[in-house]
Amino acid sequence: MHDAPRLGSLFGPDSQFHRFFNDPRWAIALIRATVLEAAHPQVGAALIDNSSFVAHPWRRLRNTLMSLQRMFGPDDDVRQREAARLNRMHARLSGTDARERPYDAMDPGVRAWVVATLFESSVTMCRLSGQPLDQTTMEQLYAEYQAFLAVLGDAAGHLPPTLAEFWPYYDRMVEEELEDTEALRIILYRLFDHLPAPPLLDGLPTVWAAGRALAGPVIGSITVASLPESFRRRAGLPDVPGARTLMQSAYVAAGLARFLPDNWLRTESLTDLLFQSSDGDASPAATLTALRGRMKQAGALFRLVAPFAEQPAPPGGPGPQRSADAFFTEVLDQTGDGYLEWPDLASMARELASRLDLDEPAETRLYQAYAEWWKELQAALDTDGDGRVSKEEYAAAVPSLAGPALIRVAEVLFDVTDADGNEFIDADEYRALFRTAFGRTVADADAGYSRSAFVKDFLSFMSGRRRSTAYDPLLAGA
């Protein structure tokens, strides 16, 4: 057996992970890995209770890709900082599932399974596309994922030490641990069928609906066909005729796309395009505006030849205010379960902390501010005492939303955004939070964004339900 590679060689541009990250096949493999993760009862329960992946799937995708880039990049300081952030985030995710079984995102065995699905799905994507990995490359990739767990601080042993021992471990997990979880069913049969448009296409509902109607069932069928056969049978997942042929064709076609010019398929470039705001920096925004114009023309032509039913207006449409019902659904209900609970506000805090790349003290302050707001909301809105706020309870007492605790959230958010502490948010600080330039949304861009103006705008958005070109993409966007 070849010598084990040094730890330093397991990260950065020369790693196997880096090569796969920009491989079109990896997009399909990542979906497969996510389904296998969700089939673990602890992971599935954590997703259902805490994740915003149903209501905000594109945000979740971007954050996952950004985290992986930080963890596998060449900068060890960035890697250690991201590992600490992930550990703080996971430490907040625990509870019990519908069968009263405990789950804990810090469970090292569960975290090992998440990493195992990424590794195994990478190996499987190569095999299904007719380009199986050789032993040396496979061992290198496995060592990289072991190093990933080591950076997180998990003790050795939860992921088998050698590749030869990994495959029996994987088979045992599939046979004994995986279940037909609610999260798995949502991903396969709800998420793809109701996937909201990414920011690039949020103004083109007809075009998006047409593409989703065609692609959703195909993606679901491909993913199911690629899962281990024993688990498919046990979970009762349908074996659609022709699905395996379609799956192999998709992997082969994606593999051929690797021969396109490198700058066409860089994951970072594609995600930047998908998530770029139309009022962002000049050059990217101009490119996006031109692209959106072309797509709108195509959408108009498509409606003429294949009209669809009228689609609801997307968030951020005309009009300064949204209804209480729309605000509850688009902003407050981050997990998409129809209720306002602590995980919804925790999801907001998590997104804000991630965007600003906060360290531990600042992140804790933000979470604590949101926790105090949740207590205030419960006291004011939870009239039936069930521990959560329904859409009806919210609509009946909307003015109560703007209490002292919400003002405290606004103050803390200003503090953690104002990185240099000069009591103004400058252009770079604004861009870190909103991912867009602030010339159009801040009255005096030269002077910066003052504390009072920031707090006023935040409260106007969160309590008055006023639409905002800054806050809608941040908290209401998909």
pTM of the predicted model as reported, rounded to 2 decimal places: 0.83
Taking only the tens place, the pLDDT of each residue in 372-409 is 999 999 998 999 999 999 999 988 876 556 789 999 99
Token pair, residue 66, equals 């950004």
What stretches of 294-451 adopt beta strand conformation (E)?
339-340, 389-390, 424-425, 449-450
- The pLDDT-based confidence of 276 (bands split at 50, 70, 90) is low
Mean predicted confidence (pLDDT) in 19-37: 89
114-142 pLDDT, tens digit per residue, is: 999 999 999 999 999 889 999 999 999 99
Please give the pLDDT value at position 252: 86
* Whole-number pLDDT of residue 415: 97
Report pLDDT for 239.
82
Report the range of poorest mean pLDDT among 332-346, 390-404, 453-467.
Answer: 390-404
Tokens (6 digits) for 117: 């699905």
Q: How confident is the model at residue 305 (pLDDT cuts 50, 70, 90)?
A: very low
Q: Model confidence over 173-217: pLDDT tens digits?
A: 999 999 999 999 999 988 877 788 776 676 677 777 888 888 888
pLDDT in tens, 46-94: 999 998 888 888 888 888 888 998 999 999 999 999 999 999 999 999 9
CATH 1.10.238.10 fits 324-476, yes or no: yes
Confidence of residue 253 (pLDDT cuts 50, 70, 90): confident
Domain boundaries, the chain: 7-257, 324-476
What percentage of residues in the chain have a pLDDT greater than 70? Answer: 81
- What ranges make up the beta strands (E) of 311-433? 339-340, 389-390, 424-425
